Amino acid sequence: MLLSVENLNVFYGEAVHALRDVSFQVDQGEIVSVIGANGAGKSTLMWTLIGLLRPKSGKITFGGKTMNAVPHQAVQGGMALVPERRRLFPNLTVRENLSLGAYLRHDRAKIAEDEAYVFSLFPILKERLGQYAGTLSGGQQQMVAIARGLMSRPKLLLLDEPSLGLAPVLVNQMFDSIQQIARQGTTILLVEQNALQSLKIANRAYVLEVGHIVREGTGQELLRDPSVQAAYLGVRQNKEEVLQNASAPPAA
């Protein structure tokens, strides 16, 4: 098991209980998706995992080590976060953005290898190296954000809404790239509002609703789950069916 999260509780201030007893795990080599509506706590989960938010209680174990809410430790241990809305440094060139992804590394030869690897994933970036990241198109910026995440050679890549704001054709390319990264051996935890696409590529998935994990299963199971279909996939059903499914216990 690469990542294990036990009974995580995260608050904003005193009043807002953003994550409630969240437990889940991610195994080596998997793509695990977390789907949920706006405000369900998906990004909160990501920021907590990378160590920027301190949980009130609960335990995060990564690669056999307990994580202490220090981003430095999480990155050193092999996590990398590609945050929602990319958060590139627009005042820096693409090359500089990538180099910051490898900030903690000193193995020049391997950094060069990884640079070649991200160019094989996103060839266009090679032509844009000297350009300021802020001048790129949205799709290219998302590529830089993912490439920057990969430059730390992470064991676990945390992707927060990578398809947000992209044109439909680019969304498909993005999900292809994610699968390609997974095939190269990087484990992926994907948080998405685009439930259909992210369940399709996921080995396993969790449904997050107002801070609770309410469903879990393989990607295919959740794609067939009527309550997931109704809430996240836009499939219409008659009322009794929904009520019946809503009261059913979550799949183990």
Alpha helices in the chain (DSSP H): 42-50, 71-77, 94-101, 108-121, 124-127, 138-150, 168-183, 195-201, 219-224, 226-232, 239-246
Of 183, 153, 174, 151, the closest CA to residue 29 belongs to 183
Residue 142 CA, chain-centre distance (Å), reads: 13
Asked if 91 is part of the footprint of other proteins (rule: CB under 8 A), the reply reads: yes
**Residue 2: other Cβ atoms inside 10 A:** 20
Asked if 179 is part of the footprint of other proteins (rule: CB under 8 A), the reply reads: no
| Site map (CB under 8 A) of other proteins, residues 18-57, x = contact | --------------------------------x-x-----
Q: Which residues contact 110 (CB under 8 A, 6 or more apart)?
A: 153
For other proteins, which stretch binds (CB under 8 A), given 97-105, 169-177, 180-188, 243-251?
97-105
- Under 8 Å between Cβ of 153 and 76: no
Q: Which of 36, 55, 83, 219 binds other proteins (CB under 8 A)?
A: 83
Size of the site for other proteins (CB under 8 A): 30
User: DSSP code of 56?
Assistant: S
- Under 8 Å between Cβ of 209 and 40: yes
Nearer to other proteins, 19 or 81 (CB): 81
Q: How far is the CB of 155 from other proteins (least distance, A)?
A: 14
Q: Which residues contact 176 (CB under 8 A, 6 or more apart)?
A: none
Asked if 75 is part of the footprint of other proteins (rule: CB under 8 A), the reply reads: yes
For other proteins, which stretch binds (CB under 8 A), given 1-9, 11-19, 99-107, 195-203?
99-107
Of 232, 192, 163, 216, the closest CA to residue 45 belongs to 192
Helix (H, G, I), strand (E, B) or coil at 111: helix
Q: How far is the CB of 63 from other proteins (least distance, A)?
A: 15
Q: Which of 44, 141, 227, 229 binds other proteins (CB under 8 A)?
A: 141
Asked if 138 is part of the footprint of other proteins (rule: CB under 8 A), the reply reads: yes
- Positions 102 through 121 that interact with other proteins (CB under 8 A): 103-104
Asked if 219 is part of the footprint of other proteins (rule: CB under 8 A), the reply reads: no
Nearer to other proteins, 33 or 140 (CB): 140
Q: With the CA atoms of 230, 170, 90 and 45 taken in that order, what torsion angle do they form, in degrees rounded to the nearest 10? A: 30
Asked if 72 is part of the footprint of other proteins (rule: CB under 8 A), the reply reads: yes
Asked if 68 is part of the footprint of other proteins (rule: CB under 8 A), the reply reads: no
Binding site for other proteins (CB under 8 A): 50, 52, 71-72, 74-76, 81, 83, 85, 87, 89-92, 96-97, 99-101, 103-104, 134, 136-138, 141, 148, 152, 165
